[in-house]
Chains A and B, each alone.
Chain A
Amino acid sequence: MSSLDNPRDKVRQRRVDRLEKRWWVRKAVNLFIIWHLFCLAIWLLPYRSSSPSPIIEGSLGAVRPYMTFTGFAQSWNMFSPEPDKMDVTLEAEVTHANGHKDHWFFPRMARMSYPHRYQAERWRKLVENATHGSNPILWPPLARYAARVNNYDAQNPPVSVTLISHSRIIPPLGEPLPAYTAVPLQTGHGASVTPIRPEDLR
């Protein structure tokens, strides 16, 4: 039996054909394509230009909500313009009510088995974003998370957390690896210490 022997399917096919032939469907798709390509171009242009023109700046205002909401707001500059050279891990120094300090590291890839590393790679990305780009906005939630992980004694809860980065710069080819330097993450007022309230531990 051929595909269109059934009268219901003939009607359906006619409907599809009619829709495809409708000028406004094609027009709408064309407009969407042009708009989308325009947005992609405008979004990528600022990354190429150090002093964007007022036209680009103005267009960016219109384009940004669309790009952000749809998830297209990306820059695509992987490993560039310079590759990442900083080898960093993040430690949380958790101070308990009695003054005892726990030293807890956010999971480190280099210490995991290969399969575990694959599943846990998000930790590396998290630490990278928290330390490299100087994202102090991430430090309090990370400190509170470390406090929750180390809240094992109800009588002696964590009261503050200091985040300490252990880092070193990978030297050029042929030069020896330096030792790690441990430095508390710094805000404008010194080391970043996050006070922990009881509600943070719930």
Chain B
Amino acid sequence: MKLLRRDWNEFWFQPISSIPLGMFRLVFGLLVLSYGLLLLPERFVWFGNRGVLPLTDSNAYNGIGAWVQHLDLLAFRGADHWLSAFFAVFLVAALCLTLGFWTRTSAVIVYLCINTLHSRNAVIHHSGDTVMLVMSAYLVFSSAGAACSLDRLWRIFKGRENDEPPRIVPWAQRLMQLQVAIVYLGASLSKVGGEKWVNGTAAYYPLHLPESARFPTPGSELLWVINLVTWGTIAVELGLATLIWVPRLRLYVLLGGVLLHLGIEYSLNIPLFSFIMIASYMTFLTAADYTNFLAWAKCPLRLTLFRVIYDGECDFCKSALLAVRFLDVFRQLTFVDSHDEAAREATGVNFALAEQAAIAVDPSGKQFAGYDAFRAIAWQLPATTLIAPLLYVPPIPQIGRRVYAWVKDNRGRLPVAPRYQIQEAAEERETTNV
């Protein structure tokens, strides 16, 4: 009994890295955003009172007489402009959830909105949408903003956290994992009872339904291919329900699931379903998996190690570097205080130049100053890689250099991270006491 209690507590409450959950939140938020954007153009058709299922018919379909059994925020206000306002709130909350800004609050709003849309029109939602709904419910209880979030960046600015994201109590994440396993257990067991699944021909039918098929599937007319896909589906789903809990097999089982869902995404038109399922696997990953992935991804990305020389006596510069360090997922940047003479001289940058602007130095010793340094660094950070090419397109460089010059001249007046304000105040107090 004691052993059972210990294992129970270890499983649900022993702190783990917050990175996997943070990454899941980021990807999940993007999917929620896509779900909202896909529904947005036809919101009045699906959820409006002149649409396919007005409120009274929706309630009749749900089999309810009182709204309280289903969570439907739209039941109070059915007018179309309320629907537009509802979608605006939903999309903003989904964006905030993606960025990890006011994470808990945005998770609550996202959950309420998704649940409302499901209740308001249960007829148009598929299993992937349902997985999205239940995962959003779990996110409400999780510490999803502990890593990879603007909330964390703010905590870094305030000096409450440093380079390492905090560890979190994982009970909500464990519920997500169990939910994923339950989904696959339900799916696989119900297939085992079906004649077409047992005789190995079930996969043939959805692939040949013109309304649900997407791209033509090679080999879908060959019995052995159909057998392989049918039985392979059951095997992978059973694996995702059971073998996923065996640490040594976890990654292989997840890989099987990813391949299964990429196949579904290619051959069947079920919007976002496969991506939601694949995203849910992220809750099974560990911090070590992410570290290994980053190390593996570094090679093909051909990233460069840069040394960044900054003015260590400028609080605004140090604040900006906190954000850069936060975004430097691949740890490609090292930071050198221009006032640290030995370290600066090792980079070959002279003090006068370092006083004028931040300098980025690549391994060959090539120096990039000011806006050019910003542009060189942008290539190294995953969050800014996509905008990096735009930084070369006229007139952006010209504007960028002007903005940089303005910032340099006014940096004493620009806001700084609260941790430096506090430090400054403490130093002032010390000076006064002396």
Contacts and interface: CB of A to CB of B under 8 A. Distances in A.
Interface of A: 1-6, 9, 12, 20, 26, 29-30, 33, 36-37, 40, 44, 47-48, 65, 68-72, 74-85, 87-89, 108-110, 114, 117-122, 124-130, 135, 137-138, 140-142, 145, 148, 170, 172-173, 202
B202 interface: yes
B38 A119 contact: yes
B328 to A, nearest CB: 19
Nearest to A30: B12
Most chain B CB within 10 A, of A74, A83, A135, A141, is at: A83
A124 B61 contact: no
Nearest to B230: A83
B196 A141 contact: no
A48 B193 CA distance: 10
Contacts of A2: 162
A109 B124 contact: no
Given A29-B171, A36-B175, A81-B193, A74 B134 contact: yes
Q: Is the interface of A mostly helix, strand, loop or mixed?
A: helix
A141 B186 contact: no
Contacts of A79: 187, 191, 202, 206
Top 5 A-B residue pairs of the complex, sorted by shortest distance between their CB atoms: A76-B186, A81-B194, A77-B190, A110-B210, A122-B124
Contacts of A81: 190-191, 193-194, 197
A9 B51 contact: no
A6 B68 CA distance: 46
Interface string B17-58: 000000000000000000000110110011000111110010
B98 to A, nearest CB: 20
A153 B126 CA distance: 36
> Interface size class for chain B?
35 or more
Interface in B260-295: 269-271
B130 interface: yes
Contacts of B3: none
In terms of DSSP, what is the predominant structure of the interface of chain B?
helix
A88 B204 contact: no
A92 to B, nearest CB: 11
Contacts of A40: 178-179, 182
Contact of B201 (A70, A89, A173): A173
Candidate in A48, A76, A114 with the most chain B CB atoms within 10 angstroms? A76
Given A33-B12, A65-B69, A77-B190, A173 B223 contact: yes
A110 B161 contact: no
B137 A126 contact: no
A44 B211 contact: no
B41 to A, nearest CB: 7
21 contacts: A6-B422, A29-B13, A33-B12, A40-B178, A68-B70, A71-B71, A77-B190, A78-B187, A81-B191, A82-B202, A83-B197, A85-B209, A108-B211, A117-B214, A117-B269, A120-B42, A125-B126, A129-B123, A129-B124, A138-B61, A145-B51
A109 B268 CA distance: 11
Contact of A114 (B38, B161, B209, B214): B214
Contacts of A71: 71, 114-115, 118-119, 130, 133-134, 137
B226 interface: yes
Contact of A170 (B12, B183, B209, B419): B209
A142 B52 CA distance: 5
A80 B233 CA distance: 12
A76 B133 CA distance: 13
A77 B169 CA distance: 32
Given A79-B191, A141-B54, A20 B169 contact: yes
Contact of A138 (B123, B125, B212, B223): B123
A77 B187 contact: yes
Contacts of B69: 65, 68-69
A145 B57 CA distance: 12
A110 B211 CA distance: 5
A80 B123 contact: no
A96 B45 CA distance: 22
A121 B130 CA distance: 16
B186 A47 contact: yes
B423 A1 contact: yes
A82 B159 CA distance: 57
A172 B187 contact: no
B160 interface: yes
B61 A83 contact: no
A10 to B, nearest CB: 10
B196 A83 contact: yes
Given A79-B191, A202-B50, 6 more contacts: A36-B175, A69-B70, A83-B196, A84-B212, A117-B269, A172-B201
B52 A1 contact: no
B430 interface: no
A91 to B, nearest CB: 14
A6 to B, nearest CB: 6
B204 to A, nearest CB: 5
A98 B124 CA distance: 34
B341 to A, nearest CB: 23
B301 interface: no
Contacts of A119: 38, 41, 271
A137 B134 CA distance: 27
A200 to B, nearest CB: 10
Contacts of B428: none
A82 B211 contact: no
A124 B211 contact: yes
B211 A109 contact: yes
Interface string B102-130: 00000000000011001100011111001
A79 B119 CA distance: 23
